[in-house]
Structure 1
Amino acid sequence: MKEVRLPSITQIIIVLGIFLALVLSFTVYLDLPIQLALFISWFVVIILGIRLGHKYQDLQKSIMDGISNGLEAILILVAVGTLIGTWIAGGVVPTLIYYGLEFIHPSIFLLATLIICAVMSIATGTSWGTAGTAGIAMMAIGEGLGMPLPLVAGAVLSGAYFGDKLSPLSDSTVLASSLSKVDVLEHVRAMLFLSVPAFIITAILFTGAGFIYGGEDIDQARVDSLKTALMDNFDIGILMLIPAVVVLVLLAMKKPSLPVIVTGALLGAIWASLFQGMNFAEALGTAYSGFSIDTGVNFIDGILNRGGVLGMLDTLMVIIFGLGFGGLLEKLGVLQVIVSTFEKKLVSAGNTTVATLIVAFLGNVLGCAMYVALILTPKMMEKTYDRQQLDRRVLSRNTEVGGTLTSGMVPWSDNGIYMAGILGVSTFSYLPFMWLSFVAIGLAIIYGYTGKFIWYNKEKTAVES
């Protein structure tokens, strides 16, 4: 029987170099789908695995195991697609856009965007659902007010990821805490010490930016034309927001996310039938095919013509291929070798924090899915934390910061593709304005090197020195 070996650093560099070359050449030069590059990359890793002594059947099983670890995320994304389609058809999203244009002052618009998306994300536990509903609305309002759209997208994502990380309903929060062997509520409390200061700093930054851009003269005629287009094509009114209220209430009552989101989608279809003049079959069809309309206003059409299960297929395929790729990397021990190479230097909470953030970020870059980062990072780093007697809450918190808050920064990751597509702004355009992510990463590193809010197994209180 052939002996199974771990890959060498040279082999890892070659394989990951081929992977990155495939991804970049397919997307930048050949205009081919990223999903195809990921699929081909499976076989690049499989060839290495066979050379290292693995059986093909075992490598194929590792692909299936990797995908199975993220099935919940796939189900949530499908449900979010149905919600977006019917909430646009039912007038929920158009009403949010209309009221935003009517009542939100330009100078506080960016701060309002941050807060609204944060509240929505805390209540729903999904950054994807927040970006696909409230996020779409805020992008349309920002366009109407003449705000730079990459800046608006940064505020949407900062709020969406903030709320997602503090919601016990979030699948990524549950995943990071459970794999770090931390109670989910303990994990959320540990996140508060970092997320709340990061949110306050981010709120100050967006407030300042709002006064800079909101102080300029807005094109009132453009605002009025957008409002008129919405009024001409939708029944706008407070009743249109009932499906959103029902979803928020059910989730606040800690009902399971998947059936609640699907219930919200069904209410959106009913509302489209009752108030928007669609027959019920057509309204229900938007849950699968998405919503389509021609208002005569190109921007409104671009914002509203989306949603449905079909609209999620590209992102779903990235998640499936990314999870499979991550399963292969774990089987071969790629990240394990990378971590062990630098393990001798991981003798302080600061160095260990930085290493955790890097490993989690590499999970997004190489695994192309946030769930790969959240699954692999605790497994790779837990022994280092235990050796230093660092509390597992520090591990789960750093995993979230490095894995979740950077996921939207990678153009070929599930979050990068989804957020760019749903908000209509490229990843590299909104990346400089993901201020909450940058502030949180900075605070995590500062905490690591100063000992602030770092807990140890022998003393469960924060070290104040």
Structure 2
Amino acid sequence: MKKKHQEIETPFLLALIPLVAMIALMAVTIIVFEGSPHIPLAVGTVIAGLIAWRIGYKWETIEEGAYKGIRLALPAVLIIIVVGMIIASWIGGGIIATMIYYGLQIITPSLFLMTICIICAIVALAIGSSWSTMGTIGVAGMGIGASMGIPVAMVAGAVISGSYFGDKMSPLSDTTNLAAGITDTNLFEHIKHMMYTTIPGLVIALVVYFFLGRQFAGAAIDEGNIQNILSALNSNFVISPWLLLVPAAIVVLVALKVPALPALVVGVFLGFICQIFVQGGNIGEAVNTLHDGFAIASGNEMVDELFNRGGIASMMFTVSLTIFAMVFGGVLEHTGMLKAIVKQILKVAKSAGSLIAATIVSAFFTNATASEQYISILLPGRMYATAFQDKGLHSKNLSRALEDGGTLTSPFIPWNTCGVFILATLSVSPFAYAPYAVLNYAVPIIGIVMAIIGYKVQFLTEDEMQQLKIKQQRIDRENELTEGV
């Protein structure tokens, strides 16, 4: 006889305890001890398990919740691993170097703020990392801007806006893959749906930077930093516009609606081939690059910082964090705790638009309390998944809301890992650059307004709802088999 899943109603205040404890521990761990978020998540999971056991849940049910969370994370984990490989192969193949090389040559003094924003957007789009972009091109941009007398807060704001645009819209970004993966949304559908809020946000930012930059039109530019980077790229890579065909091929595959994983695997293969036949590497080096990442000693600190990365090994932090977070969320969900919390929120957020707006605000609140942008995606993502389904909303509404409210608002929190990193890297306080990080606050506002007026709120079709029911039934059967007979 099959075991039935326990249904015990968890009191709201008890359901809050693991969440509040995890957030408090997260803040102390990250801000005070500068540690990783894994342990707070593990402790939060233990507390959730103890509370569930105390109110009557059996260990088997609690354990099954943890396993269910891991199973839900597997698609995202697989894509994240492949992303590590594609980053490494594109660096090794000279593809990213080529994109940066041509991007850096479009800087003009009269449009510096606009230009540095666009360059950071291109680089972050190519490598999928706002941090690496800010730590390299961003640092160079700060020096160039300072040499022209532009306030550092303005330059930092433009760098952050561009870096986070590229990160948010890149299929190589870990946060983009996390948001798509935990909501079970096709990666490229997720990216396409984000365009409705993010492209207008970028346009607004560029217009602001255009008018801000007009006052510096007569300034002279010190091209030393740029020339050093270009020289280092030329010395260590074969730079060719033909290499731009590789990202173009991925764009074509996306346009042809090829699923994310096969499209990314093609990107890995093309980068692998380029490293051997264009850059002159050997097969052994190319294989090791896929696992360990690319290694370079160019003599230019910024270039080394930007290109010493990628590979499967580099993604294990994100993979392990995803598993820990999904175990935590799985236990909360399987023991009715998430249901109890969301039930209270839904008393206010009754419409589809207000639910999306509540998700954006919740993601920002998680950034401010948990101090980690990954958690701002993972935690609300699990909390609201069922509520979105119940209202017939497509999962890409949820994935976009998570990025609008989570990924983009993290730099505004001084004690968040992103705010701390930016302060250390660009030497500008979040309070100083916040007014100029236009994209980062424009997009959440656009997302909330669009949700309230119902613009580009995608509902499930009848066929999609039927497919979702079939998929849920299959998952339920798998869970029953796992629980045993």
TM-score by length of 1: 0.75
SS at match of 2:404: coil
User: 1:132 is matched with which residue: 128, 136, 148?
Assistant: 128
In structure 1, the residue matched to 2:402 is 403
Q: Which moved more, 1:28-37 or 1:62-71?
A: 28-37
- Alignment CA distance shift 1:101-1:277 (3 Å): same
Determine if the alignment matches structure 1 residue 442 to structure 2 residue 445.
Answer: yes
Larger relative contact order (Cα-Cα within 8 Å, sequence gap ≥ 6): 2
Deviations 1:304-359 (A, max 9, x none): 11111111111111111111111112123333222333544446677555434345
Determine if the alignment matches structure 1 residue 341 to structure 2 residue 344.
Answer: yes
C-alpha contact 2:342 2:383 (8 A) present in aligned 1: no
C-alpha contact 1:70 1:323 (8 A) present in aligned 2: yes
- The 2-side partners of 1:252 and 1:429 are apart by 38
In structure 2, the residue matched to 1:325 is 328
User: 2:381 is matched with which residue: 364, 368, 374?
Assistant: 374
User: 1:152 is matched with which residue: 137, 146, 159?
Assistant: 159
C-alpha contact 2:289 2:311 (8 A) present in aligned 1: yes
Which letter does structure 2 place at the counterpart of 1:203?
L
In structure 2, the residue matched to 1:392 is 393
In structure 2, the residue matched to 1:105 is 108
Q: Which moved more, 1:276-285 or 1:343-352?
A: 343-352
- Alignment CA distance shift 1:97-1:188 (3 Å): closer
Deviations 1:12-70 (A, max 9, x none): 34322321222122222234332233223221211111112111121111112112222
In structure 1, the residue matched to 2:244 is 241
C-alpha contact 2:294 2:311 (8 A) present in aligned 1: yes
- Alignment CA distance shift 1:253-1:82 (3 Å): same
SS at match of 1:217: coil
For 1:29-428, list aligned pairs within 5 A: 29-105=32-108, 107-108=110-111, 111=114, 130-132=126-128, 140-145=136-141, 146=144, 148=155, 151-161=158-168, 172=179, 194=197, 197-208=200-211, 216-346=219-349, 352-359=355-362, 368=375, 370-380=377-387, 392=393, 397=397, 399-408=398-407, 409-410=409-410
Cα deviation for residue 114 of structure 1 reads 6.2
Identity fraction in percent: 26
- The 2-side partners of 1:237 and 1:419 are apart by 36
Q: Which moved more, 1:339-348 or 1:10-19?
A: 339-348
- The 2-side partners of 1:190 and 1:89 are apart by 31
Deviations 1:195-250 (A, max 9, x none): 55444323323444555778753321221111111112222222333322322222
Aligned residues, how many? 428
Which ranges in structure 1 are unaligned for 5 or more consecutive residues?
Answer: 121-126, 458-465
- Alignment CA distance shift 1:206-1:371 (3 Å): farther
- The 2-side partners of 1:189 and 1:228 are apart by 36
C-alpha contact 1:289 1:310 (8 A) present in aligned 2: yes
SS at match of 2:302: helix
- The 2-side partners of 1:259 and 1:153 are apart by 31
- The 2-side partners of 1:86 and 1:420 are apart by 30
- The 2-side partners of 1:311 and 1:456 are apart by 35
- The 2-side partners of 1:198 and 1:172 are apart by 19
Which letter does structure 2 place at the counterpart of 1:330?
E
Which ranges in structure 2 are unaligned for 5 or more consecutive residues?
Answer: 146-154, 460-485
Deviations 1:337-395 (A, max 9, x none): 22333544446677555434345556777782635533431413555xx5xxxx736x9
Which letter does structure 1 place at the counterpart of 2:160?
A
Which letter does structure 2 place at the counterpart of 1:156?
S
